[in-house]
Amino acid sequence: MPNPLNPRGKKERIDALAATSADTSGGGVAVATVDDAGHVEESTGVSLVASAWQRLRRNPVFLIGLTITTLFVLLAIFAPLIAPHDPADPILLPEVRPQTNPIPPAREGFPLGADNAGRDILSRLIVGSRQTLVVGVMATLFGLLGGLTLGTLAGAFGGWVDSVVMRVVDVMLSIPSLLLAFSIAAIAARASQWTVIIAIAVVQVPIFARLLRGSMLAQRASDHVLAARALGVKESAIVFRHMLPNSLGPVIVQSTLVVATSIIDAAALSFLGLGNPDDRQPEWGQMLGKAQPYIYDHPALAVWPALCIIVVALGFTLMGESLREALDPKSRR
């Protein structure tokens, strides 16, 4: 995880990532060939992806991450079927007494109890996973899109285009990422789920752009791009057929890690009230925020959503890190 308070460390880390994965295209393939040098002739193809999968399959860290994320995605998809109650329905409201009993405790049918509005916590957690998934995936997707565009521009044209794009990216990276996301979300006239998504996506753009630009530059200097030039291949084809596909590896790995960051950032924004104000649509960060007044007497109210955020973010991080390890020839044991 990049330290948001240390932008220089963040830049160095991105560049290091781009540098190691630049070797993946050449070095990674070379290693794969050495692995099956004995049966090169008859092998119908152990591609880089396939050989990475061979290693991942036996990696417990990856399997744990994969299990968590799969369960999470399934939970989000089938949330309305799994949730025992309507998350917006204040069923236990009659039992809420602001002075004596603000939070109805667990009981038959409500294993985690209800919140201060008498709504079932378990159902809210289950349905809340949908918002988390949508925000995490959409923010990553938009960030990826923006980063791909900027990174391709910088890496493909080089020269002054590269300088201009990268200075913009540097400025964005120099602002701590959460602060930038807060500012963008705060500018929006009406807080909603979309402002959260866009705020987080913008924060991810420079990371993706810098990463892609780094590996594009490595590709630009590579032998196969020179060989393509020697064949008179057009510049557009060199960029989109020869440079871009070979530069995507680290970006794809980074995406899985960014999903985790996005989920945490989204929770932070909602916690501070910059998310969707409508609490009939549950969201983990928002639940966390609403639990604040009761944190001393009823810590469970905050613990459950926090636990959900931690586990899901951990799942994506474990998956991303082991993916990176599998695709990086240097970290192979």
Partner 1 sequence: MTDTLSTSQQHRNDDTPLLSVRDLRVTFHRSGEEPFVAVDGVSFDLRPGDTLGIVGESGSGKSVTSLAIMGLLPKRGVRVEGEVLYNGTNLLTLSPDQMRDRRGAELGMIFQDPLSSLNPVVPIGVQVTEVLERHRGMSRKAATPLAREMLDRVGIPDPDRRLKDYPHQLSGGMRQRALIAMALAAAPRVLIADEPTTALDVTIQAQILAVLKDLVEDTGTAMIMITHDLGVVAGLVDRVNVMYAGRVVEAAERHPLFADPRHPYTWGLLQSIPRLDGARGERLNPIPGSVSDNLPWTSACAFAPRCSQPIEVCTQRTPELVEDHGRSLRCFNPIQHGRPSPDADTTRGTSEVTR
Task: State the residues that interact with partner 1 by CB under 8 A.
Answer: 25-26, 29-30, 32-33, 40-41, 43-45, 47-48, 222-224, 226-234, 237, 241-242, 245-246
Q: Which is nearer to partner 1, 102 or 158 (CB)?
A: 158
Q: Which is nearer to partner 1, 6 or 43 (CB)?
A: 43
- What are the φ/ψ torsions at residue 97 (nearest 5 degrees)? -120, 110
Q: Residue-wise over 32-50: b if at least 16 C-beta within 10 A, else e?
A: beeeeeeeeeeeeebebee
Smallest Cα–Cα separation from 248: which of 35, 61, 3, 48?
A: 48
Q: Which is nearer to partner 1, 47 or 183 (CB)?
A: 47
Q: How many CB atoms lie within 10 A of CB 259?
A: 26
HSE value, Cβ hemisphere, 13 Å, CA-based, for 251: 30
- Single-letter residue type at 95: E
CB of 33 to partner 1, least distance (A): 5
CB of 188 to partner 1, least distance (A): 40
CA–CA dist 14, 209 (Å, integer): 10
Q: Which is nearer to partner 1, 218 or 266 (CB)?
A: 218
CB of 164 to partner 1, least distance (A): 18
Q: Which is nearer to partner 1, 133 or 217 (CB)?
A: 217
CB of 41 to partner 1, least distance (A): 7
Residues forming beta bridges with residue 107, ordered by sequence position: 110
Angle at which helices 177-187 and 244-271 pack, to 10 degrees?
Answer: 70
Q: Which is nearer to partner 1, 3 or 43 (CB)?
A: 43
DSSP codes, 161-197: HHHHHHHHHHHHHHS-HHHHHHHHHHHSSS--HHHHH
Helices marked H in the chain: 7-23, 29-35, 48-57, 60-77, 79-82, 121-157, 159-174, 177-187, 193-220, 223-230, 235-237, 244-271, 284-290, 300-327
CB of 11 to partner 1, least distance (A): 24
Q: Which is nearer to partner 1, 33 or 54 (CB)?
A: 33
